[in-house]
Protein backbone atom coordinates (compact mmCIF):
# COMPACT_ATOMS: atom_id res chain seq x y z
CA UNK A 1 0.00 0.00 0.00
CA UNK A 2 1.19 3.49 -0.83
CA UNK A 3 0.82 6.38 1.61
CA UNK A 4 -1.27 8.17 -1.05
CA UNK A 5 -3.89 5.44 -0.61
CA UNK A 6 -4.73 7.06 2.74
CA UNK A 7 -4.88 10.63 1.38
CA UNK A 8 -8.71 10.72 1.32
CA UNK A 9 -8.67 9.70 4.99
CA UNK A 10 -6.21 12.47 5.85
CA UNK A 11 -8.29 15.02 3.95
CA UNK A 12 -11.57 13.99 5.55
CA UNK A 13 -9.84 14.42 8.91
CA UNK A 14 -9.05 18.00 7.90
CA UNK A 15 -12.73 18.51 7.05
CA UNK A 16 -13.77 17.11 10.44
CA UNK A 17 -11.45 19.59 12.14
CA UNK A 18 -13.71 22.45 11.09
CA UNK A 19 -17.15 20.79 10.90
CA UNK A 20 -17.45 17.58 12.87
CA UNK A 21 -20.62 16.30 11.19
CA UNK A 22 -19.78 17.19 7.58
CA UNK A 23 -17.79 13.99 6.90
CA UNK A 24 -20.70 11.84 8.05
CA UNK A 25 -23.23 13.91 6.08
CA UNK A 26 -21.06 13.67 2.95
CA UNK A 27 -20.81 9.89 3.37
CA UNK A 28 -24.58 9.69 3.83
CA UNK A 29 -25.05 11.69 0.63
CA UNK A 30 -22.74 9.37 -1.27
CA UNK A 31 -24.68 6.39 0.10
CA UNK A 32 -27.95 7.91 -1.08
CA UNK A 33 -26.34 8.29 -4.51
CA UNK A 34 -25.54 4.55 -4.43
CA UNK A 35 -21.78 5.09 -4.15
CA UNK A 36 -19.80 2.54 -2.19
CA UNK A 37 -16.90 3.43 0.03
CA UNK A 38 -13.66 1.49 -0.36
CA UNK A 39 -13.51 0.67 3.35
CA UNK A 40 -16.32 -1.22 4.99
CA UNK A 41 -18.78 0.89 6.90
CA UNK A 42 -21.77 -1.15 7.98
CA UNK A 43 -23.43 1.95 9.43
CA UNK A 44 -24.10 3.32 5.95
CA UNK A 45 -26.52 0.50 5.29
CA UNK A 46 -28.74 1.71 8.12
CA UNK A 47 -31.42 4.24 7.07
CA UNK A 48 -31.48 5.75 10.56
CA UNK A 49 -27.74 6.44 10.38
CA UNK A 50 -28.04 8.04 6.96
CA UNK A 51 -30.95 10.28 8.01
CA UNK A 52 -29.27 11.13 11.31
CA UNK A 53 -25.98 12.03 9.64
CA UNK A 54 -27.71 14.38 7.22
CA UNK A 55 -29.77 15.98 9.99
CA UNK A 56 -26.77 16.42 12.26
CA UNK A 57 -24.73 17.90 9.43
CA UNK A 58 -27.44 20.49 8.72
CA UNK A 59 -27.95 21.16 12.42
CA UNK A 60 -24.28 21.82 12.96
CA UNK A 61 -24.23 24.35 10.15
CA UNK A 62 -27.11 26.20 11.79
CA UNK A 63 -25.85 25.92 15.37
CA UNK A 64 -22.38 27.18 14.55
CA UNK A 65 -23.74 30.67 13.93
CA UNK A 66 -25.21 30.98 17.42
CA UNK A 67 -23.39 33.20 19.90
CA UNK A 68 -23.60 30.39 22.47
CA UNK A 69 -21.86 27.86 20.20
CA UNK A 70 -18.85 26.40 22.04
CA UNK A 71 -15.38 26.32 20.56
CA UNK A 72 -14.61 23.22 18.52
CA UNK A 73 -11.76 22.40 20.90
CA UNK A 74 -13.90 21.78 23.99
CA UNK A 75 -13.98 18.13 25.08
CA UNK A 76 -17.29 17.23 23.40
CA UNK A 77 -16.31 19.09 20.23
CA UNK A 78 -13.06 17.16 19.99
CA UNK A 79 -14.84 13.91 20.81
CA UNK A 80 -17.28 14.49 17.94
CA UNK A 81 -14.35 15.19 15.61
CA UNK A 82 -12.53 12.03 16.72
CA UNK A 83 -15.60 9.88 16.14
CA UNK A 84 -16.59 11.43 12.82
CA UNK A 85 -13.05 11.53 11.46
CA UNK A 86 -12.42 7.96 12.57
CA UNK A 87 -15.55 6.58 10.94
CA UNK A 88 -15.14 8.58 7.74
CA UNK A 89 -11.39 7.94 7.56
CA UNK A 90 -12.01 4.20 7.83
CA UNK A 91 -14.72 4.32 5.16
CA UNK A 92 -12.43 6.12 2.71
CA UNK A 93 -9.41 3.88 3.33
CA UNK A 94 -8.67 0.88 1.13
CA UNK A 95 -10.43 -2.33 2.17
CA UNK A 96 -8.45 -4.00 4.91
CA UNK A 97 -6.75 -0.72 5.87
CA UNK A 98 -9.71 0.82 7.70
CA UNK A 99 -7.85 1.10 11.00
CA UNK A 100 -4.99 2.98 9.38
CA UNK A 101 -7.50 5.27 7.66
CA UNK A 102 -9.24 5.98 10.95
CA UNK A 103 -5.93 6.68 12.68
CA UNK A 104 -4.64 9.16 10.10
CA UNK A 105 -8.02 10.92 9.95
CA UNK A 106 -8.14 11.36 13.73
CA UNK A 107 -4.47 12.33 13.78
CA UNK A 108 -5.28 15.09 11.31
CA UNK A 109 -8.60 16.25 12.79
CA UNK A 110 -7.53 16.93 16.37
CA UNK A 111 -4.51 19.20 15.82
CA UNK A 112 -6.17 20.90 12.87
CA UNK A 113 -9.20 21.73 15.04
CA UNK A 114 -6.96 24.17 16.90
CA UNK A 115 -5.65 25.66 13.65
CA UNK A 116 -9.09 26.04 12.08
CA UNK A 117 -10.42 27.58 15.31
CA UNK A 118 -7.61 30.13 15.27
CA UNK A 119 -8.37 31.01 11.66
CA UNK A 120 -12.08 31.29 12.39
CA UNK A 121 -11.47 33.61 15.34
CA UNK A 122 -9.35 35.88 13.14
CA UNK A 123 -12.09 35.87 10.50
CA UNK A 124 -14.74 36.62 13.13
CA UNK A 125 -12.76 39.65 14.28
CA UNK A 126 -12.57 40.89 10.69
CA UNK A 127 -16.02 40.12 9.26
CA UNK A 128 -18.18 38.85 12.13
CA UNK A 129 -19.45 35.50 13.35
CA UNK A 130 -22.23 34.88 10.84
CA UNK A 131 -20.37 35.89 7.70
CA UNK A 132 -17.19 34.05 8.69
CA UNK A 133 -19.28 30.99 9.56
CA UNK A 134 -21.09 31.02 6.23
CA UNK A 135 -17.81 31.28 4.34
CA UNK A 136 -16.29 28.49 6.41
CA UNK A 137 -19.43 26.40 5.84
CA UNK A 138 -19.20 26.82 2.07
CA UNK A 139 -15.52 25.89 2.00
CA UNK A 140 -15.78 22.93 4.36
CA UNK A 141 -18.97 21.45 2.90
CA UNK A 142 -17.51 21.72 -0.61
CA UNK A 143 -14.27 20.12 0.58
CA UNK A 144 -16.14 17.35 2.38
CA UNK A 145 -18.26 16.50 -0.65
CA UNK A 146 -15.22 16.62 -2.95
CA UNK A 147 -13.10 14.39 -0.70
CA UNK A 148 -15.86 11.80 -0.28
CA UNK A 149 -16.69 11.73 -3.99
CA UNK A 150 -13.02 11.44 -4.89
CA UNK A 151 -12.55 8.73 -2.27
CA UNK A 152 -15.44 6.63 -3.54
CA UNK A 153 -14.47 7.19 -7.19
CA UNK A 154 -10.95 5.86 -6.51
CA UNK A 155 -12.47 2.53 -5.55
CA UNK A 156 -13.98 1.95 -8.98
> Containing domain of residue 64, as a range?
3-153
> Region 16-22: what's the mean pLDDT?
96
pLDDT of residue 155: 56
Q: Which of 64, 83, 70 is nearest to 139 (CA)?
A: 64
Domain total of the chain: 1
Give 27-61 pLDDT, tens digit per residue.
999 999 999 899 887 777 788 989 999 999 999 99
pLDDT score for 121: 94
pTM: 0.92
Tens digits of residue pLDDT in 110-155:
999 999 999 999 999 999 988 999 999 999 999 999 999 999 987 5
Q: How far apart are CA 136 and CA 33, in angstroms?
A: 25
Amino acid sequence: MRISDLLPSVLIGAVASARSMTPMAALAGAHLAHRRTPGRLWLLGKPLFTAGALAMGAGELYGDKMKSAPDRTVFLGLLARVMSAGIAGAALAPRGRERAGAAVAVGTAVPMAYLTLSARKRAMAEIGQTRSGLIEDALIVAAGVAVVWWGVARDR
